[in-house]
Amino acid sequence: MNLIDKKVTHKSFGVGSIVKQNDSSIEIHFGSENKKFVFPDVFGKFLVLHDKDVAYSVEKIIQKNELEQREEELKKEEEKKLQRKNQEVRLEHEKLMKNHKLHSESQMVNWCDAEEQNSSFSEWKVFSGVIKSGTNKGKPNKPVRLHQNSAVLLTAVDSGMPEKDRRILGVYMVDKNFIGKLCEDGYVPAHSKYRLQLTEQESDRMRFWNYYVNEKSPQKMTWNTGKYRYFYNTWLAQILRDIVSLKSDPKEKELAQQFFEHFCKMNLINEQELPNPNGALMYI
């Protein structure tokens, strides 16, 4: 928009003519002197254009700028709210991390269906399922016992096979910042380093019920319902120790050993005092 030579009236300086213009300012000649103003802010407050058509166009620019300014202010306010919320979450996270008490059964074993047997390893996360009844029916389960010391064991039963043949498919530590009590979507993400997937042959040799036992009914091997269940920290340590022995690839074996040592450290387990597995299959 060209405003050069356009006549204006200023509240204090009277009638003048625009002599210079750019995107952010205009210069106006008033009789014996020139004055510089911010464009387009000066219009509508102190300055009036004589040309009504041009004045209308300038007003549209002002309205557009004001709208953009309001949107920018709203955006900044939303960013501040988000920052405050994130700060609250961080403080809550730090509080939970600081006050966390180690639970003896803070590991998760997950039942993977056919689809999850692929997605669990491609995405390295599992879903804890939904609440089946009560006021929170349909909402994701909160795996409240899981913390930075927790691991997720991935298992499956082949179609047509009995529960006693449930195989271990893989295992991972939860993400280092994951806290089950704060989990709203039900997804449990994996640690960036400590994650292991077993080959088909390795999985065939790692039977879940070699390690897990229902202490009230030692010979009973049933899963019943639910996507997951908690189990003892020592049982997971036993599984990791056996995976180390199972792995033949040097790099995978080294990672498994590091995983095992990290897990024992996080769960205050003495590797030398770790007992042998005593799962339900041992009672057959």
For residue 160, the enclosing domain spans 104-283
Within this chain, do residues 60 and 155 fall inside the same structural domain, yes or no?
A: no
5 contacts 17 by C-beta, under 8 angstroms: yes
Rounded mean pLDDT, 66-85: 89
Within this chain, do residues 134 and 235 fall inside the same structural domain, yes or no?
A: yes
Q: What residues contact residue 179 under an 8 Å CB cut-off, 6+ apart?
A: 93, 96, 97, 146, 147, 148
**Count of structural domains, the chain:** 2
Within this chain, do residues 95 and 129 fall inside the same structural domain, yes or no?
A: no
pLDDT for 257: 96
Residue 139 DSSP label: S
pLDDT for 98: 62
| CB-side neighbour CA atoms (13 Å) of 225 | 4
pLDDT for 94: 61
pLDDT for 123: 93
Res 91 pLDDT > 80: no
Question: Domain ends where: 99, 124, 153?
Answer: 99
Give the pLDDT confidence of 212-247 residue by residue, as tens digits: 998 888 888 998 777 899 999 999 999 999 999 999
Question: Domain ends where: 99, 120, 145?
Answer: 99
Within this chain, do residues 185 and 246 fall inside the same structural domain, yes or no?
A: yes
Within this chain, do residues 204 and 267 fall inside the same structural domain, yes or no?
A: yes
Within this chain, do residues 211 and 131 fall inside the same structural domain, yes or no?
A: yes
Give the pLDDT confidence of 185-207 residue by residue, as tens digits: 999 999 999 999 999 999 999 99
Q: What is the CA radius of gyration of the chain?
A: 34
Within this chain, do residues 84 and 218 fall inside the same structural domain, yes or no?
A: no
Within this chain, do residues 88 and 133 fall inside the same structural domain, yes or no?
A: no
Within this chain, do residues 171 and 276 fall inside the same structural domain, yes or no?
A: yes
Beta 33-38 vs 25-30: how paired, if at all? Answer: antiparallel
Within this chain, do residues 150 and 47 fall inside the same structural domain, yes or no?
A: no
